[in-house]
A and B are shown apart, each in its own frame.
Chain A
Amino acid sequence: MSTTVAPPPKRPNVNRIGLEVANYKGGKTTLCAGCGHNAISQRIIECFYEMGVAPWSVAKFSGIGCSSKSPAYFLNQAHGFNGVHGRAPALSTGAVLANHHMIGIVTSGDGDTASIGLGNFMHMLRRNVPMIYIIENNGVYGLTKGQFSATADLGSTLKSGAPNDLPPIDCCLMAIEMGASLVARSFSGDKDQVGKVLKAAIAHRGLSLLDIISPCTTFNDHEGSTKSYAYMKEHDLPLHELDFVPFFEDIQVEIPEGALREVELHDGSKLRLKKLDRDYDPTDKFGAMGAIHESNAKGEVLTGIIYVEAAKKTFADMLNLGDEPLATLPESRTRPPREALEQIMEELR
């Protein structure tokens, strides 16, 4: 008797919590073809999938701009809040206070962050609010059709040829100075690096500031731009070769003495930084700031994990929040008893 063995049904690929990549997708993008922001959305989808983070445990925030439209294009199964211009820091801070178990992720623009929202941005950094804040940095206001933003380099030009007279604000410098505990810069065209930096941010507990150069193909991808694909291909200077080892696949590797720096992140994942032309220490705050200043002076764009302080106290720690989210505390724990009011009334008589 012969038996035919049916081939096993083709199982879709799933991540460690049993979800397919489709569970991490968003709506169809309405941004321009080739816009750097789309590449970043793609990386967000992949990274949350690969890290096995449940989409419902994520909350997405943004301000106003092309970049701020992005949350609609990834993680449809996560709650999203597209706010007002420059104010995603306030919205997300409030939401994270209400439920600090959520993984907050903000996508914002350079106009959103470094101009109208700069004040709120600074204070979010200072508080080290536990969440991920991505600046999709293209040096212009995309959505209002191409005016300079505050991150545009001195002397870079608009599409019309008009030069920029003002020095740029470096958001990574700000972030390190003000207290963000993971600071990275990357380039939307560097899939591999953006992915690793993003995974590090997911693994980190504290504010992760990712300044990702994300060219605007429509308004700022020309000759005189310093945020174009061509410029970045020329001037991108990786600090190190990055490797990210998630906590759930701890592969032991032989580490040759001195060739590698390892940083353990909050969830047990590890960042392995392989030395390139220099030995860069991302836990050295002053060194990090010095390195940015130096490279900016040379017109290079330093990319990689610029600064990390894995154990830094977050805003939730500072406020001494308990385990249960404030949002769902029952009345028995949020309304003091009748006797407490009576006692106070007695004191006021």
Chain B
Amino acid sequence: MSTIEISPSPADEGIAQQQVVNDFSIQVATVNGSGSQTANLVLMRSIFQMGIPVSGKNLFPSNIQGLPTWFTIRASKHGYTARKKEIDFLVAMNTETANEDVMNLESGAAVVYDEPLKLNQLRSDLHFYPVPFDKLVAPVCPQPKLRKLVRNMIYDGVVGRLLGIDLEEIRKALFKQFGARKVKAAELNWGAVLAGAEFTDKNLRKSDPCRVERMNATAGKIIIDGNAASALGAVFAGVTVVTWYPITPSSSLVETMIDYLRRLRIDKETGKPTYAVVQAEDELAAVGMVIGAGWAGARAMTATAGPGISLMSEFVGLGYYVETPAVIVDVQRVGPSTGLPTRTQQGDMLATAVLSHGDTRHPMLIPCNPKECFSMASEAFELAEQFQTPVFIMSDLDLGMNNWMSDPFDYPTEPICRGKVLSAEDLDRLGGFARYKDVDGDGVGYRTLPGTRHPAAAYFARGSGHNERAQYSERPDDYVNNMDRLARKFETMRRFVPKPETEINERASIGVICYGTSREATLESRDQLRNEYGVETSYQRLRSYPFTPEMTEFLERHARVYVIEQNRDAQMLQLMRMELSPELIGKLRSVRYYGGLPIDARTITDEIVLQEGL
């Protein structure tokens, strides 16, 4: 075993004596395809099991093997789960990025690194912990082929000991991660964790200030990614037809859904699936099948990302105009075009709201965490069928693909409602129906499903001009009547879409509005503004489009309102401008981040401070 150098460190000057407990971020730099994901998730989960709020963000390349990836774990006693801009603890496993990774650290950070990289020569203001990974892995993993994968588990042992994570929690997390069917593999990896821990105990002297202490803030919580949550939500919403065309970051949504469907949706009596999943040939077909299936009465959905949304454009306009229910999940990524396909953005908001040609408007639900991914799946289907129109769920890569700590999901309380669908008996009673007539004044007509045994059940759905009775018409008055009714329907939706989450601060003259995954960073930024600048803010998180009256009220209450979003062009703000009075528009300010990483609190705070002239 090599002798261990303890780097000269700020610890000597006594800085390390100020301990940083449960409030730091760890970044693991590796190459993708090296199996580091398991080690990272085990580390994250073991901190979670110690009752400490935690989040994990994977920054990965659009590549299968061999390019750099960074996994950031944040532990926060305050419950902050947004990405933290500063890294406190680096695990440098990637030769190619190690130097830059180290140079980017703030003074006083800690670095666990592969000994031969000699990173300690780069800087003298960091805490260095060299670990001879190759030497440690050989004895615990006799098969050379597996060493590349097992090697990563060593840093779990090292980091665990340095931070004071209970080894038993690491063991529990590791066996959970591998599952009952891979006990052998779990044991092999556990050997590596122990080797790392033992090495640390014998050879490393703790000098950095970060450590964990048990808390009780995660009891009852779960860890899940947003895509899995959306998938479960759809399964419990009674989805029956699912179509998809693989695209990052939405693929895992449907892949996970297939697993859950197989497990939960095989009919006990008949042994038959109560669903159909089709991997379509492209997104045009995927959404076309959903619209066909929705028209024929199925609860149908598809999941995609920006490029798929673009391809779906023509069909979505048809769905809007013919008035068929459909649910489309957009797990947003960085565009335009392929953009940064493995990075996150809220970049499709504007295009999706008005997707397609002609005058179109589409409802969008915007989840901020896995729990909302789950509940909004049901809400989306209910809205789609109630309003007979395509409904979008605007998730993003950060939410969809990262693991989030979450409250457990609530079983749906409302029974499934299929909207205004007339049966053969209804038709007997009514003697017929006019498909696009606004009988109830809410803009929503009554529909029938193909296959209804009644001579008056049929109607002809068409994208071309039609009158109330669904007959072909090129008359200006028919067209205008129909478009006005569709606008009325959109207005009615304002009363039914999820309301924003609002926190009014009576002492605040400024407000912040955010949506989706900007929530955590926004909440943290509000604390920074209060604690560091003495600035109070009110808060609102939009959960849907169309907007609801709560948003206008919020704007009316405040002198200035910062709209925080993860795109370049202030897309949500533009949507707000489309319907607000000039006076309210005048109050809007924009805070934008669009670098592809999940937004962080500091970025928001700095921008608000700048604009407020503080």
Binding site for B on A (CB under 8 A): 23, 54-57, 59, 61, 71-72, 76-84, 87, 89-99, 101-102, 119-120, 122-123, 319-323, 325-329, 331, 333-336, 338, 340-342, 344-345, 348-349
Contacts and interface: CB of A to CB of B under 8 A. Distances in A.
A83 B318 contact: yes
Nearest to B237: A335
Nearest to B264: A336
A327 B297 contact: yes
B288 A90 contact: yes
B462 interface: yes
B241 interface: yes
A208 B454 CA distance: 27
Contact of A92 (B292, B322, B461): B292
12 contacts: A79-B450, A90-B280, A98-B240, A98-B295, A98-B296, A98-B297, A102-B451, A322-B274, A327-B293, A327-B451, A334-B240, A336-B236
B463 A319 contact: no
A91 B289 contact: yes
Contacts of A334: 238-240, 265, 274-275, 299, 416
Majority secondary structure of chain A interface residues (helix, strand, loop or mixed):
helix
A94 B411 contact: no
B300 interface: yes
A2 to B, nearest CB: 44
Interface stretch (B57-65, B135-143, B219-227, B598-606): B219-227
B197 interface: no
B297 A341 contact: no
B207 interface: no
B264 A56 contact: no
A99 B450 contact: yes
B238 A120 contact: no
B337 interface: no
A97 B460 contact: no
B588 to A, nearest CB: 37
Contact of B293 (A57, A97, A119, A328): A97
Given A326-B240, A335-B236, A349-B220, A98 B292 contact: yes
The interface centre, meaning the residue of A56, A84, A91 with most chain B CB atoms within 10 A of its CB, is A91
Interface string B247-277: 0000000000000100011010010111111
B243 interface: yes
Contacts of A94: 241, 243, 288-296, 298, 300
B296 A120 contact: no
Given A319-B276, A327-B298, A340-B264, A56 B240 contact: no
Most chain A beta-carbon contacts within 10 A, residue among B264, B298, B300: B298
Contacts of A119: 281-282, 285
Given A120-B284, A321-B276, A336-B235, A80 B241 contact: no
Nearest to A71: B460
Interface in B445-470: 448-455, 457-464
B412 interface: yes
B451 A321 contact: no
A92 B455 CA distance: 21
Contacts of B270: 322-323
Contact of A80 (B232, B243, B297, B461): B461
A93 B300 CA distance: 12
Q: Size range of the interface on B? A: 35 or more
Top 8 A-B pairs, shortest CB-CB distance: A90-B288, A94-B292, A327-B297, A322-B272, A94-B289, A334-B238, A79-B450, A98-B298
B409 interface: yes
B276 A326 contact: yes
B314 interface: yes
A328 B273 contact: no
A56 B452 CA distance: 6
B472 interface: yes
Contacts of B449: 79, 99, 327-328
Contacts of B274: 322, 326, 329, 333-334
Nearest to B317: A84
B490 interface: no
Contact of A326 (B282, B298, B415): B298
Given A98-B293, A323-B272, 4 more contacts: A102-B296, A334-B240, A341-B411, A345-B408
B237 to A, nearest CB: 7
Contacts of B318: 83-84
A59 B409 contact: no
Given A87-B315, A340-B264, A56 B288 contact: no
A95 B296 contact: yes
B278 interface: yes
Nearest to B292: A94
B451 A329 contact: no
A95 B220 contact: no
Nearest to B322: A81
Contacts of A72: 460, 462, 472
B575 to A, nearest CB: 26
A120 B461 contact: no
A143 to B, nearest CB: 11
A322 B220 contact: no
Contact of A336 (B265, B272, B455): B265
B296 A327 contact: yes
Given A120-B288, A322-B273, A97 B451 contact: no
B300 A335 contact: no
Nearest to A68: B462
Interface string B191-233: 0000000000000000000000000000011111000000010
Contacts of B288: 83-84, 87, 89-91, 93-94, 120
Contact of B272 (A77, A89, A92, A321): A321
Contacts of A83: 288, 291, 315, 318, 463
Query: Residue among B295, B315, B409 with the most chain A CB within 10 A?
Result: B295
B240 A91 contact: no
A57 B450 CA distance: 7
B289 A81 contact: no
A76 B456 CA distance: 9
Contacts of B322: 81
A342 B264 CA distance: 13
A78 B275 CA distance: 25
A90 B286 CA distance: 7
Contacts of B415: 331
Contacts of A327: 240, 293, 296-298, 449, 451
A195 to B, nearest CB: 24
